[in-house]
Amino acid sequence: MPIFQMTVQDTFRLSNGTTAFVGQVESSGNLIPPCACKIFVGEELKALLWIDGEMILEKKTSTHRAISTSQVIDLTALGLSSGGFSIRSKS
């Protein structure tokens, strides 16, 4: 069973090269740890990804959560936009 699954609603590229994904999370834990993940569109696997862990958002009233990666990933080359896909932990 995955540690978490995120439905990505938006993606941000930060100036330090980090990519942040923001969206709704189903999780078996409180804080998402660094872990190996898979990117899916529906049930189609698009890519493997290492997540550096959860980022704490300043806006506490939001139900959105954020995870980040320092891995270079080209969403356009994968046929993805900034949202509308899911990220699931591998285990």
- How large is the average pLDDT for residues 65-91? 93
The CATH number assigned to the domain holding 13 equals 2.40.30
- Which of 58 and 12 is assigned the larger pLDDT? 12
Q: From CA 21, how far away is CA 39, in angstroms rounded?
A: 11
38 band by pLDDT with thresholds 50, 70 and 90: very high
- Across the beta sheet with 35-41, the strand order is 44-51, 35-41, 85-89, 4-13, 19-27, 65-69, 53-55
Total domains in the fold of the chain: 1
Residue 9 CA to its chain's centroid (Å): 10
- Which of 91 and 5 is assigned the larger pLDDT? 5
Q: From CA 86, how far away is CA 21, in angstroms rounded?
A: 10
Structural domain including 73 reads: 4-89
- How large is the average pLDDT for residues 51-68? 84
